[in-house]
Amino acid sequence: MTTLSDAYRNAPLLPHHIIPLDFDSVKHVPESHSWENSDSGLLIRIQPQPPESLPIIDLADPSALNLVGQACQTWGMFQVTNHGISSALLRDVEYETGRFFSLPAKEKTKALRSPGGASGYGVARITPFFNKFMWHEGFTIVESPVDHAREVWPHAYQRFCEVMEEYQKKMKELAERLLVLILKYLGLPGEPHDLHWLPHPPSDDPFRPASCTALQLNYYPSCPNPAQAMGLAPHTDSFLLTILHQVNGTHGGLEVLKDGAGWVRVVPTEGALVVNVGDMLRIMSNDLFPSVLHRVVVDKTRHRMSLAYFYGPPMDHRLSPILAGGAPVRFRPVTVREYIEMKAKNLDDALSRVRVRS
């Protein structure tokens, strides 16, 4: 079975594009991390606008199907409540995430991601596409984190692994629940024969092909000069859906680029999770749903922690638009692996490479 690591193996990172800065050791923003005079794009310098009302959807609402579909179509991002993830599990995953990132830099690098690997500690994979580094460190988990966690805590890794694995299980259930709503909104009734990897209803069928998922733990330290730094540069996500938990009590920082409004701050809402459309859902929706650019800005006195869960089809699944009403096809078919490999080498124009020319 093809894995996420197999897809990234053909686009390995250089060592200096893996190891984060030891943020505790710096008093000023170094030139390598200063975006003040960067040529990495005008999008960085568009100033945020006053907060708009990002849709907040109660999944227990009888109108949730239409509300989710409309939010995908108009924003490409929304927040959900009554999502089924317990506050106790969220507290546990916050604690374990903080336990890792509070370690000294030398200890965290014991879990360092390999150059062609998908999992482990390091900077964001989008780093090589920009001429400045980001004020960020992350830990990517694909399935079980046990191999890396055991390197960090030889005798105290079990609890970290148990919490992360339980969180991924619950996130997967939520992602599939949301995706069923979205596919129904797109006019795909019943059980689609070409989406055999998606349970209808959710089940633990051992013969069902495994979806492609990953959990990204993010940490954005407080920054001596936030105007110079960028937590995470503007990008779109590759998979179908991203479900983000912004840890309460830390700096918000997430901003989404909305047509006609510029950068809009996503204000954390107690008990809510942020959901955003990825490139693969944009392809499946035949361009109806935008995969929106988003970024993270940093703060002078507060750090930020978040957990992003990425959900996609199996690596060998062939993505193609779901057509409704005879609309012209806007994207050619592409496998999940092909698209991931394409975006690992071409961050900004991967979608344009699968777009049908009119």
Catalytically active residues, by annotation: 304
Torsional sign, CA 349, 354, 357, 358: negative
Residue 347: how many CA atoms within 13 Å on its side-chain side? 14
Residue found under tokens 């024969």: 193
* Helix orientation angle between 64-74 and 158-185, rounded to the nearest 10 degrees: 90
Report in angstroms the alpha-carbon separations of 171 from 42, 57, 95, 287.
Answer: 35, 17, 17, 25
Q: What is the SS3 assignment for 48?
A: strand
C-alpha–C-alpha distance, residues 155 and 195, integer Å: 42
C-alpha–C-alpha distance, residues 153 and 58, integer Å: 39
Residue type present at position 321: P
* Helix orientation angle between 87-101 and 158-185, rounded to the nearest 10 degrees: 120
